[in-house]
Structures are given as structure tokens and as C-alpha cells.
Structure 1
């Protein structure tokens, strides 16, 4: 197979060839999207919640500081916008394709892992009490013990909205945290290679640039704890999961940023 000569290769001149070579990768991406949809539809495991456990699950039920619809914007569209901007400045369709493909693989694989673990673990959210008992009848435990807790298992019997209760069993790990740390983590790796942060010339300003996407991801993760949608362990595990997946996927396409060829993609053959 012929080597790719690094230079000006635009979408118009080489886009069709790149798409043909990697058609199977894009098919897998579609399958990952379908799998994420399925994992969000199925009912998660309802972990045992006893009478005494509810004392730690009575945090206020609040709206999201960072709404769900904003997560793809932060984790996918923002990094993609920056990647496309780099392509416009220095056209190389192979680099553009590998960067976008790597970004999508990172967030979708992270999404599948996150949702699968959520469904399997079924950990209650910090605001589970109010999802379970929206009328807040905690003062009636003694009087209505049979209606509120199962006599045999002593597990809670909820009478709240089914959708809220379902979401109430999806605390671990945090999807917001895993997605933003994955997407912005991949962007951090990508920028590190492109601006040659680790060339040992002492340009600390370059290193500061890399801290911006990680800071943004951290703020999103912190908001999940502040909104009482997640425990701190949930956001820690989600952030770690996103960073690990994005790192592995990035290194599938690019050399480490500290490598002399760190700014070039791995796949030099078609």
C-alpha cells in the first residue's frame, strides 16, 4: 500500500478515499449509538434501599446546572470545532478524519461503558428520597410503614414518577463527568501534540492552554455534586473513565505528544 505524503490533502481531493478506507469504523460508530439508546431505555438494577439508608439520600431535588443537551455540545461539538479550525489553517484531511473519528470513538465507547455500568450498579442518587416520595411524607414512616417499606425485605416502596425513580437509580458513574472528561481529554491530547507542549523548550504558556479544557471538564463534574445528582465517588469514577478511554483511543491514532512526531497521526498507510 502506498504511503501518505503529508501535505495539503483536502476533503475535496482525498475525502472520498478516506471515507472508503474507514467505512467499517463508521459502521461501528452507528452500532455504538444504537447500543447507547438501548442502554438508556432498559430499566436499571434497583439496588436495595432500606429505611435507615434514606437518611443519606434526602438532598434537595434540583434542576441541572449543565443540562443534558449541553453535554454533547461540550464533549463533541466544541472539540470538533477546534479540530476543524486547525484543518482550515493547515488542510490535511487524513489528520482531520483521524481526529474526528478518534473523538467520536472516545465519547461513544465512554457512553456505552458509562450507561452499562449505571444499569448494572443501580446506585441511588443523593436526591433519591424526593424521587421516591415527592410528597415528602417522611413523618409518616411509623404510621404507614407497610405502604412505604416492604415488610419482608424492608426495601423502600416508591410512589413517585416512574421516570424520576428510574433516573434515581443511575448515580454511578456520572455520565456528565465521563463524557466531558473524555471529549475534552481527547482535545487536550490533540492540542498537546499539535502545539508541541513537551518539546522541552520551557514554554509554560503552552501547558496552560492544556489546562483550559480540563478545567472546564472539572467544573461540569463539580456541578453534578452541587446539584445533588451525584455523589463525589460518581464524578470521580466518571472523570477517570473518560480520561482513560480518551487516552487509549488517542494513542491508537497518534504517537504520544512528547514524541518527535507527536503532531502527526499514526496511520500513514492506506
Structure 2
């Protein structure tokens, strides 16, 4: 074989060896870079940034002054519906209820004495609305979370007003006489009946009208709607169901429910309601309070039951932004390292190729000179 064929063969072997080394190194570089910046194995800096972001939200980055108007505008339609519910409550109290037939033989259970209210009507919004809102503000001044304050107030008002609409609507539709109906209808004690046996009342019209609104108890339903919502709110805030066995926390949660129950008992003691009215009113108020509470807050037994849904949504959005920034920074570092590695590989390749060419050309010159000699 001629000498130039041998030289060409040796040069091809050297080049193929060099390219095999280079091709075997590049996948190792990309594998290392891709594994070091996966979303699962993020750097510790990213986790620290998430924790710092969480602390910023907890320490009051969303206050009434900074985000109050934004939150209120987001729930503008809810506030409009709330005002509509208040108007409906007023209308239901103005219209006359259904005047049910009351015969003489039915008066046996309706001759209880006419007494005043132990719990006056004006006191209901004080303990069922104003007291819970005051507690909501106390929690806000400690946590500075406008989402918690806004949603707690909105949920409480919805709970009370929805309960009021349902209660007054049933009152007007049923028209059940109160236990003291006899003395409302016949203040002088002289009962009068028509040809069908129905009562012919000669008492004050407003008193008679109120005497047909026994079922269900409005005092009880409003009390359980407001204080029941407060009980659920407190159970979530103090983490009653954290499985640590702090039974003393239950006393705090049961206190509003106990007060609401005593209000219901007072309605029976005052002979304004039958026990069935009180039981139905309390059940109705607490069910509505539970539904309204779960619209804005996780269940109290949930691990995140101490905060509203909106709070965790903001926290998740901030965490997603932080993770996206971390991934972008990691990809930039990956590209930079890959470029540096590629430059180093190209330099080594060209250097090896230069040495190989110089070596092969030198051997060829030596063979040529030796052949001439």
C-alpha cells in the first residue's frame, strides 16, 4: 500500500477517536445540568423565598388600607344581594301573615299569660351581629388579613339575613298562633267565635298580627345564625380539632352556642313560642350559618381551617410566581454552563486536531525525505 494511503488511514482513525470522545462527553454535560434544575429538586434558596413570601402575607401585606377596596369591588355583587335580602326582610315583616283557623277547643294550649320579652328585639343585632364583628376586628388587628375580615363579615351578614328571610317567610306562610294567643285576641278574657267556630278577635291589630307568627322562632334562628357562625369561626381560628386533646378549646366554641340556646329557652319561658318553634328555629339558623361559613372558610377540622380560601389562593399565587422565577434563573444558569462546557470542548477538540495534524504531517515529511535519500 502506498505511504499516502497509510497516512490517510491513520488520520481518519485519529479523527474518529476524537469525535467519539467528544460525543460521549456532551450527553453527560446535559444530563448533569437537567438533573440539577428539576422542579422537584429546587435549590434551598427557592424554598426560603417561599417561606419569606408566606411570612410577608401573614404579617400584613394585605390590609384594609392596601387591598380593602379591591376585595370589596371583587364582591360587589355579593353586597348588592345582601342589601336586597335586607329589603326582603323588611317587606316580610310588614305584610300580614296567614290567619289560621283557631277554634274554641284549640284554646286549651293557647291560654298562657301574655308576658314581655326577656330578650328584647333590639338586643338581637347586638349579640348576633355586632359582637361577632367586634371579634373579627380583634383577629384582624392581630393578623392584618383583609381577606379574613371581609369574608367573615360578609359571611356573617349573609348567614343572618338569609336566615331572616327564610324564618319570616315561613312565619307568614304558616301563621301558627303563639301560646299566648288567647290574651292577644281577647284582652278582656271574653272569647267570641263566629258561626264556623273561628275566633273573632277584638284586641289590638298589631298584637293580633304578631300572635300569628309563632313558627319558627325568629329570636332563636337569628341567634344561631349569628352565634353559630361565630362558633365555627372561633373553632377554626383556635384550631379546636388539631388532635392535640385540648378540651378547654371546646368551652370557647360552645359558649356562643350556649348563649343562643338560652335565648331559645327564654322564648318558651316567655310563652311566645312552642318548643317545636324553638327547635326548628335553632336548627334552621345553624344550618344556614354552616353553609355560609363554608363558602368562605375551610371546615374547622381541616388542616387549613384557620384561614379563608382567599388567603391560601393568594399564598399559592405568590408561591407559583416565586417558583417560576427560580426555574427561569435555573434555566439561565444551565444555558450558561452548557455554553462554557461547549466552548471548552471545542477548544480541546481543535487543540487535539492541531496536534494530530502536526504529528501526521511531520511523519509524512520524514518518510518523503527518507525515500529520496
Q: Which runs of 5+ in 1 are unaligned?
A: 139-147
Separation (CA, whole Å) in 2 of partners of 1:117 and 1:171: 10
1:8-27 equivalences under 5 Å are 8=60, 9-27=62-80
Q: 1:189 aligned to 2:242?
A: no
**Among candidates 189, 206, 212, match of residue 255 of structure 2:** 212
Residue 168 of structure 1: CA displacement?
Answer: 0.1
Per the alignment, residue 273 of structure 2 pairs with 230
Residue ranges of structure 2 left out of the alignment (5+ in a row): 1-53, 315-373
- Equivalent residue in structure 2 for 1:83, among 136, 157, 161: 136
Distance 1:16 1:136 in 2: 59
Where does residue 185 of structure 2 map in the other structure?
132
Of residues 208, 214, 226, the one that matches 1:165 is 208
- d(CA) in 2 for partners of 1:111 and 1:125? 19
Residue 137 of structure 1, CA deviation: 1.8
Distance in 1, matches of 2:134 and 2:108, equals 45
**Equivalences for 1:106-185 in 2 at 5 Å?**
106-138=159-191, 148-151=192-195, 153-185=196-228
Partner residue in 1 for 2:336: none
Distance 2:250 2:299 in 1: 15
SS at match of 2:309: coil
- For residue 242 of structure 1, what is the aligned residue in structure 2? 285
Report the counterpart of residue 55 of structure 1 in structure 2: 108
In the alignment, the residues of structure 1 paired with residue 57 and residue 221 of structure 2 have an alpha-carbon distance, to the nearest angstrom, of: 34
Per-residue deviation at 1:266? 1.6
**Larger Cα-atom Rg:** 2
Higher RCO, Cα 8 Å, sep 6+: 1
TM-superposition CA deviations, 1:9-43 (whole Å, max 9, x none): 21111111011111110000000000000000000
1-side partners of 2:213 and 2:131: how far apart? Answer: 26
* Aligned equivalents of 1:259, 1:57: Cα separation in 2: 47
TM norm structure 2: 0.68
Shift of 1:6: 3.6
Q: Deviations over 1:30-57 (max 9, x none)?
A: 0000000000000000111001101210
**Rounded Cα–Cα distance in structure 1 between residues aligned with 2:113 and 2:63:** 52
Give the ranges of 4+ consecutive aligned residues of structure 1 lying more than 2 Å apart after TM superposition.
4-7, 267-270
1:35 corresponding residue in structure 2: 88
Q: What is the Cα-based RMSD across aligned positions, in Å? A: 1.3
Report the counterpart of residue 103 of structure 1 in structure 2: 156
State the SS of the aligned residue for 1:262: coil
Structure 1 residue 267, shift from structure 2 partner? 2.9
Larger % of helix: which? 2
TM norm structure 1: 0.93
Aligned residues: 257
